[in-house]
Amino acid sequence: MQDVAEAAGVSLKTVSRVVNNEPRVSEETKERVKQAISALGFRRNDIARSLRRGQASSTIGLIIEDIANPFYSSIALGVEQVAQQYNYMVIMSNSEEHPLRERELANALLRRRVEGLLIVPAGRDHSYLLPELQLGTPIIFLDRPPINLPADVILLENQGGARKAINHLLERGHRRIGLICGDPLVHTGSGRTAGYREALAGYGVPIDETLMYFGCDAAPQAQAAIQALLALPEPPTAIFTTSNRISVAVLRFLYQQRKQLAFIGFDDFDFADLLPLPVTVVAHNPVEFGKIAAELLFARLNGDSRPPQRLILPTELIVRGSGELPPSNLH
């Protein structure tokens, strides 16, 4: 440790402050210490451990969007099951989709000396994590890739999953297919929209922008979108939604209005099979997603030094009835 302090030209105390993410260290000093650690080939955890006299935190940090969303609570379950096997515990936090909050949480977790981070990112720039990554703290991104940071990422087959759904509707004769999507700038939204466009193009069906609604993650926006789509002079005969939350809002609206039209949603959900018209979905396994991410994190902690990995998890179309209604069945 003395080596690091000497190389950086600072006191041991300052090295300790930097490694533990404590306040009151200038950015310039931080950078110098981190470069010294990096140049000497140490890993942050080794440093931290030595400063703590042999005691590692045995915790990892998990930042998700909202634990009350079953997609994220299933991921959290998978992460925790793997962490248990390694005798680690998980500090869990919700970014609520705020970029600034994601950054605050990441820093708050690192101050608590987590040995690795799993992040479903909300922000659009993750370069702030570069020094930490260079110090050897494993950081794995889930569901959306990091931006400006060469880190591991695990994604769903977004484009392919959406393409399967739209092809399924096209094969049944649908040509006017409404898209109700979340934020199109988020990786999942853009990938699923790309799959929608790609499938239509493959069938030679021109894209009609009036059938596409974005920014519909919240129920009121999703319900406004389906209402507007149904009010078109030539309404769609089928709907594709890009997430479980949007599906629920749209289906609730359709039931209340006693409207029935072909429907496929991305993400499976409880009761999709029990609704009056069972719901066809693009399914995947979020518990497995969490497990795979945590396994990669522990591999990194245990010395796996491959270049950043990018894993794509498969999706599966589950046919239940709503996606098989013919175009004529509108209203």
| Residue 234 is a binding residue for a second copy (CB under 8 A) | no
- Can you state the angle between helices 158-171 and 187-202, rounded to 10 degrees? 40
Sites for a second copy among residues 56-75 (CB under 8 A): 57-59, 66-68, 70, 73-74
CB of 273 to a second copy, least distance (A): 8
| Residue 108 is a binding residue for a second copy (CB under 8 A) | yes
- Of 147, 148, 207, 271, the one binding a second copy (CB under 8 A) is 271
Q: CA-to-CA distance for 134 and 127, rounded, in angstroms?
A: 11
Sites for a second copy among residues 282-301 (CB under 8 A): 287
The 10 Å CB-count burial string (b at 16+, else e) for 231-248 is eeeebbbbbbbbbbbbbb
| Residue 320 is a binding residue for a second copy (CB under 8 A) | no
Q: CA-to-CA distance for 134 and 218, rounded, in angstroms?
A: 37
| Residue 251 is a binding residue for a second copy (CB under 8 A) | yes
Q: CA-to-CA distance for 331 and 320, rounded, in angstroms?
A: 20
| Residue 276 is a binding residue for a second copy (CB under 8 A) | yes
Number of residues this chain uses to bind a second copy (CB under 8 A): 37
- Of 14, 45, 94, 315, the one binding a second copy (CB under 8 A) is 94
- 80 residue type, one letter: E
Q: CA-to-CA distance for 138 and 135, rounded, in angstroms?
A: 9
Q: CA-to-CA distance for 64 and 290, rounded, in angstroms?
A: 11
- Of 165, 248, 250, 283, the one binding a second copy (CB under 8 A) is 248
CB 134 within 8 A of CB 38: yes
| Residue 112 is a binding residue for a second copy (CB under 8 A) | yes
- Of 100, 185, 207, 255, the one binding a second copy (CB under 8 A) is 255
Q: CA-to-CA distance for 64 and 75, rounded, in angstroms?
A: 9
Among 51, 37, 39, which Cα is nearest to 4's? Answer: 37
Site residues, a second copy (CB under 8 A)? 57-59, 66-68, 70, 73-74, 76-77, 80-81, 84, 87, 89-94, 105, 108-109, 112, 248, 251-252, 255, 269-271, 273-276, 287
